[in-house]
Amino acid sequence: MERLNSILLIDDDEILLELNARTIKEFNLVSEIITMNSAHKALVYLAERRKKWPEIIICDIEMPHMNGWQFMDVYSTILDPFEEDPIICIHSNSTHESDLNEIERRANVNMYMTKPLNQEKVTQLFSYCFESKNTQVKRNLGTVYVTS
């Protein structure tokens, strides 16, 4: 079965980070699950790894100091147009219309999932990831919303 090298989870809630990492680990489809409790730390991590980015980044919206949208703004400036960029999943409790509009506005956001992760959501995430890797049409699939 196909496996991913790594997933990056970004959330200021340490307990939720641990729960999400455990949920993903149960699938045994990822070699490394990286957790960062701030968007800034995640950006530093990504900048240092340049050519070895995780295949999936799951990012919270509401975080102190640098929120998920600010993370996405900086992230989009460090993308290498010649490299395959990770699948971006926004992970939040927010159902504010402004956040949903922002998700639609951003071309590099592939998925939106409500908190917390569960087996159904992770199954959909992996399905999307493997489908996009195998078909090379990730950017044309639009944003996938998973809220159950």
Query: Looking at residues 17-36, what average pLDDT do you find?
Result: 96
Cα–Cα distance between 85 and 93 in angstroms, integer? 25
pLDDT of residue 137: 47
User: How do residues 43-94 score in pLDDT, each as one tens digit?
Assistant: 999 988 877 889 999 999 999 999 999 999 999 888 776 677 889 999 998 8
Does position 40 have pLDDT exceeding 50, yes or no?
yes
pTM over 0.85: yes
pLDDT of 139 over the 60 cut:
no
- Backbone phi, psi, residue 10, to 5°: -125, 115
Q: What is the DSSP letter of 139?
A: G
